[in-house]
Structure 1
Amino acid sequence: MSEKETLVRFGISMPQSLIEQYDRLIAIQGYSNRSEAIRDLTRKALLTSSSMQLDETVAGTIVMVYDHHISDLPITLMELQHEYHHAIISTMHIHLNHQQCLEILVVRGKVEKLRELQQRIQVLKGVGYAELSVTHVDEHGSSHEHPHTHA
């Protein structure tokens, strides 16, 4: 939030038990007041892929957990990743135990295509979890073609 932005006050009605649970949660998370916690919840809600325009360019991750013993699932996942290679920047594969793998895909592209990839992963037999998490990308502020140096 910029310093020039005007703050607007509004009221929220909640059951007593819910606000008590919320106050305990935000205290554990280190918030000193409800307002900042609610602002963060709102920002997070606005960054869900379902609340963004389908043609908006975003960056983010697809996190999945799957059973690598399910017939052909690792091969199917690899083929799917090759099909979306233009959107996948990087991958990380972690063996959670003898049966389960955690895989993280770092992605960049249009919300519609990234959501499509996440949904295609999610419905595969043996995939227990697949979630897309994204953030806005400022197309005007950065470019892969812009020269820069690293110190």
Structure 2
Amino acid sequence: MQEKDTLIRFGISMPQTLMEQFDARIVEQGYDNRSEAIRDLVRKALLEPSLIRGDQLAAGTIVMVYDHHISDLPMVLTELQHDYHREVNSTLHIHLNAKQCLEVIVVRGIVSRLRELQQRIQVQKGVYYAELSVTHVEGGMEDHTHDHPHTHSHHHEHHHGYGHGQGQGHEGEPSL
């Protein structure tokens, strides 16, 4: 919230059992009061990728789980990321078990391109799950302008150690 924002009070009506569940949950999460928790819920709802205009600049992650034994799927996924090299900032690759991998792709770019990448990943045979999560929208709720120009340093990390266990990944990098 920007310092200049005026706080508005409003009332919410809900069933007592729902309020008791909510109160228990926010205590577990460490909130001091309902207002803070409700503000965070509203912020999260406003960052729902389907509600963000496709022409906005955003940052977030694409999380996917896939079967790396499907022929050429790891290479197809790597090639897709290279096709979107301007949007992909970094990747994290984890072996979940002997068959499945989890990959987190940190992305930043125009929302329509981020959605397109997520959809192209999701439709690949052997991809069980692929979800885009937007964590920041430039010019959004709490973004403020800066007097200095943004330089876009592009840190693009790949850890392609698709084998199981420790070893060497792509170009001698340690695999995760």
Residue type of the alignment partner of 1:4:
K
Hey, what's the Cα distance between the residues in 1 that align with 2:2 and 2:121? 38
- Runs of 5+ consecutive residues of structure 2 not aligned to the other structure: 154-176
Stretch deviating more after TM superposition (40-49 or 137-146): 137-146
Match of 1:144 in 2: 151
C-alpha deviations, 1:25-58, integer Å up to 9, x for none? 1110001111110000111111222221111111
Number of residue pairs the alignment of both structures matches: 146
1:56 paired residue number: 56
What is the RMSD computed on CA atoms of the aligned residues?
2.0
Written as runs of structure 1 = structure 2, the 5 A alignment for 1:111-130 is 111-130=111-130
TM-score, scaled relative to structure 1: 0.86
Unaligned runs of 5+ in 1: 147-151
Is 1:22 aligned to 2:22, yes or no?
A: yes
Letter in 1 for 2:82: H
Instruction: Name the SS for the 2:53 alignment partner.
Output: coil
Query: What CA deviation, in whole Å up to 9, does each residue of 1:79-130 have, x standing for no partner?
Result: 2112111211111111111111111111111000101111111222222221
Q: Distance in 2 between matches of 1:23 and 1:41?
A: 14
SS at match of 2:31: coil
Higher relative contact order structure (alpha carbons within 8 Å, sequence separation ≥ 6): 1
Indicate how the Cα distance of structure 1 residues 126 and 15 shifts in structure 2: closer, same or farther if over 3 A, else same.
farther
1:149 aligns with none
Q: Which amino acid counterpart does residue 116 of structure 2 have in structure 1?
A: E
For 1:2-40, what per-residue CA distance to the aligned partner results, in whole angstroms no more than 9, with x for missing partners? Answer: 333211111222222222211111110001111110000
Judged with a 3 Å threshold, the aligned counterparts in structure 2 of structure 1 residues 124 and 16 are, in CA distance, closer, same or farther, namely: farther
Offset of residue 145 of structure 1: 6.3
TM-score (norm 2): 0.75
**1:87 counterpart letter in structure 2:** E
Cα 1:2–1:109, aligned 2, differ >3 Å: closer, same or farther?
closer
2:33 is matched with 33
User: Equivalent pairs: percent with the same residue?
Assistant: 65
